[in-house]
């Protein structure tokens, strides 16, 4: 049971508003302290709101599986640090509740079924081989972020969504600016993020207008969305909003996993040797990397619609809730010695993709991308190594999707 208020004597960091800085690999130490001493606790966020932090694995799962917990950003209690609430007509389905939310899941899910995703494997292999060819033909050291981590997910998104591959550079910059909006250490972050958001939206709008004018809107996701709007299942704004969401959700997330995951692997040569000797270990290693890094660590945010008890704590209707997936993924009660990176541990039940009805719709595609990238990288560049000390790799401390901005490698 939670201790009495008098016995609650938290480390200094607790006096700072939420979020607190993580490193490339590890959550703020305060998470472990809270899991132990005050697993569900009220904090003040950087924009002056109050919200409940939920830190234990079982409690995070309970929150994300409960229909009394909402994703609707329009509700006043929804934690909005770093987030500018969209205009009503700009709200994508990640911020919707059932039954509205289910309309979009039903529309999209077929694009991410195992068979459908597996069909990209050969193209993906050629894409990754090409990127590695160019990298190894160029100068040493190379930046793995620009050579591999950004272009692979960006190109794959262009395939599934149906956006033009040649606009990849624009995408890379715009989505990165958009995701760095929570970085309060940079006074221009929010302004740049809003500009990037407007540019992306205008770009998508133009693509959609082209599809609408065509007799057959096409079989990719944009085409399917345009067709659904024609039938009246969704509105035209929903087509743009869903496209925006897919670009944002599918790009920097996967790019960050590729870059930061490679950094973890390069710091663990023993694991790399094992993976080279037995590539069958890779799928398990990918789940462990997803768990260990939890790069999407400040995105899963909620609000209670009714009074609800979580971990013995009463949360009132209307109050904000932050189910910390990064903390849950490091809970020793669920993953023994959770701070240790171990490719042999069963990690598949992690919350790196969230949990419940909003659980990442693109996860099968993300897993395939990670698999092809690391399988190929380890096989083709046996001498791959960091070109600078791991501590010097620049980390995005407060971005809602954590990551490294460059990863200098050599071979
Ligand atoms: C949702 C993580 C890749 C599309 C989510 C959520 C997380 C997540 C944590 C849940 C948000 C919430 O509950 O509020 C990741 C990670 C990825 C990844 C770690 C890469 C390693 C992708 C890809 C796509 C994608 C490749 C699409 C091509 C989406 C969409 C949602 C989502 C559309 C919203 C789902 C909904 O609200 O029902 N993702 N994602 N993600 N993701 Fe991913």
> At residue 247, does pLDDT exceed 90?
no
CB of 362 closer than 6 angstroms to any ligand 1 atom: yes
Question: Sign of dihedral through CA atoms 162, 166, 169, 173?
Answer: negative
CB of 93 closer than 6 angstroms to any ligand 1 atom: yes
**Tens digit of each residue's pLDDT (9 = 90 or more) over 248-274:** 889 889 999 999 999 999 999 999 999
Please identify, by atom number, the ligand 1 atom nearest to the C-alpha of residue 94. 37
Q: For the residues 330-345, what does the mean pLDDT come to?
A: 98
Question: Which of 353, 355, 357, 401 most suits a substitution to test ligand 1, by most atoms within 8 Å of the C-beta?
Answer: 353
d(CA 114, CA 108): 13
**Tens digit of each residue's pLDDT (9 = 90 or more) over 338-355:** 999 999 999 999 999 999
> At residue 87, does pLDDT exceed 90?
no
Q: Answer for the pair 25, 329: CB distance below 8 angstroms, yes or no.
A: no
Distance from Cα 8 to the centre of ligand 1, integer Å: 36
Burial class (CB in 10 A: 0-12, 13-18, 19+), 267: middle
Q: Please state whether the peptide bond connecting residue 123 to the residue before it is cis, i.e. omega within 30 degrees of 0.
A: no
Q: For the residues 242-249, what does the mean pLDDT come to?
A: 90
Which residue has the CA at smallest separation from atom 2 of ligand 1?
353
Q: For the residues 318-347, what does the mean pLDDT come to?
A: 98
Which residue has the CA at smallest separation from atom 42 of ligand 1?
360
Which residue has the CA at smallest separation from atom 15 of ligand 1?
353
End-to-end CA distance of the chain: give it in Å, rounded: 53
Name every residue whose Cβ is closer than 8 Å to that of residue 408 and which is 6 or more positions away in sequence.
141, 142, 143, 144, 386, 387, 388, 393
H/E stretch holding 276: helix 269-277
d(CA 32, CA 25): 14
Quick one: pLDDT at residue 183? 63
**Tens digit of each residue's pLDDT (9 = 90 or more) over 125-136:** 999 999 999 999
In three-state form (DSSP H/G/I as H, E/B as E, the rest C), the secondary structure along 306-346 is: CCEEECCEEECCCCEEEECHHHHCCCCCCCCCCCCCCCCCC
**Tens digit of each residue's pLDDT (9 = 90 or more) over 217-235:** 999 999 999 999 999 999 9
CB of 249 closer than 6 angstroms to any ligand 1 atom: yes
- In this prediction the ipTM stands at 0.99
Quick one: pLDDT at residue 1? 46
Token digits for 253? 């997330």
Question: Which of 249, 256, 302 most suits a substitution to test ligand 1, by most atoms within 8 Å of the C-beta?
Answer: 249
In the 8-state DSSP scheme, what is residue 44? E
Which residue has the CA at smallest separation from atom 23 of ligand 1?
250
> At residue 5, does pLDDT exceed 60?
no
Name every residue whose Cβ is closer than 8 Å to that of residue 392 and which is 6 or more positions away in sequence.
none
**Tens digit of each residue's pLDDT (9 = 90 or more) over 145-178:** 989 998 899 889 888 988 887 887 787 788 778 7
Which residue has the CA at smallest separation from atom 1 of ligand 1?
360
What confidence category does residue 48 fall into, taking pLDDT thresholds of 50, 70 and 90?
very high
Q: For the residues 292-320, what does the mean pLDDT come to?
A: 97
In the chain, pLDDT over 70 holds for what percent of residues? 95
Among 198-207, 303-312, 397-406, the range with the most confident prediction by mean pLDDT is 303-312
Quick one: pLDDT at residue 184? 63
Question: Which of 256, 350, 362, 368 most suits a substitution to test ligand 1, by most atoms within 8 Å of the C-beta?
Answer: 362
Which residue has the CA at smallest separation from atom 39 of ligand 1?
360
Among candidate residues 84, 78, 1, 83, the one with its CA nearest the CA of residue 38: 1
């Amino acid at each position: 049971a939670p201790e009495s208020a008098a016995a609650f004597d938290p480390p200094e960091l607790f006096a700072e508003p939420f979020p607190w800085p993580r490193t490339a690999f590890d959550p703020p130490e305060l998470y472990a302290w809270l899991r132990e001493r005050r697993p569900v606790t009220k904090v003040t966020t950087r924009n002056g709101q109050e919200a409940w932090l939920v830190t234990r694995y079982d409690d995070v799962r309970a929150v994300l599986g409960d229909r009394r917990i909402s994703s609707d950003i329009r509700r006043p209690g929804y934690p909005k640090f770093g987030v500018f609430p969209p205009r009503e007509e700009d709200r994508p389905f990640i911020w919707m509740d059932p039954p509205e939310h289910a309309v979009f899941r039903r529309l999209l899910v077929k694009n991410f079924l195992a068979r459908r995703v597996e069909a990209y494997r050969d193209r993906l292999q050629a894409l990754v081989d090409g990127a590695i060819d160019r990298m190894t033909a160029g100068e040493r050291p190379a930046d793995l972020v620009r050579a591999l981590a950004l272009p692979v997910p960006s190109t794959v998104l262009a395939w599934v969504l149906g956006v033009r591959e040649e606009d990849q550079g624009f995408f890379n910059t715009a989505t990165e600016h958009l995701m760095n909006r929570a970085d309060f250490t940079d006074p221009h972050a929010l302004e740049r993020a809003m500009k990037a958001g407007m540019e992306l939206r205008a770009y998508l709008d133009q693509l959609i207008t082209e599809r609408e004018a065509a007799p057959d809107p096409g079989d990719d996701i944009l085409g399917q969305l345009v067709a659904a709007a024609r039938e009246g299942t969704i509105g035209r704004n929903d087509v743009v909003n869903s496209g925006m969401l897919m670009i944002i959700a599918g790009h920097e997330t996967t790019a960050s996993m590729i870059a930061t995951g490679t950094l973890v692997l390069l710091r663990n040569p023993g694991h790399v040797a094992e993976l080279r000797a037995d590539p069958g270990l890779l799928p398990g290693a990918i789940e462990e990397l997803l768990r260990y890094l939890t790069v999407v660590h400040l995105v899963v945010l909620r609000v209670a619609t009714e009074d609800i008890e979580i971990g013995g704590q009463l949360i009132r209707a209307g109050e904000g809730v932050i189910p910390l997936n990064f903390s849950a993924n490091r809970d020793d009660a669920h993953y023994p010695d959770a701070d240790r990176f171990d490719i042999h541990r069963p990690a598949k039940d992690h919350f790196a993709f969230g949990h419940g009805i909003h659980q990442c719709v693109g996860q099968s595609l993300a897993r395939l991308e990670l698999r092809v990238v690391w399988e190929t990288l380890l096989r083709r560049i046996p001498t791959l190594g960091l070109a600078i000390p791991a501590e010097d790799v620049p980390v995005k401390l407060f971005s809602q999707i954590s990551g490294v901005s460059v990863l200098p490698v050599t071979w």
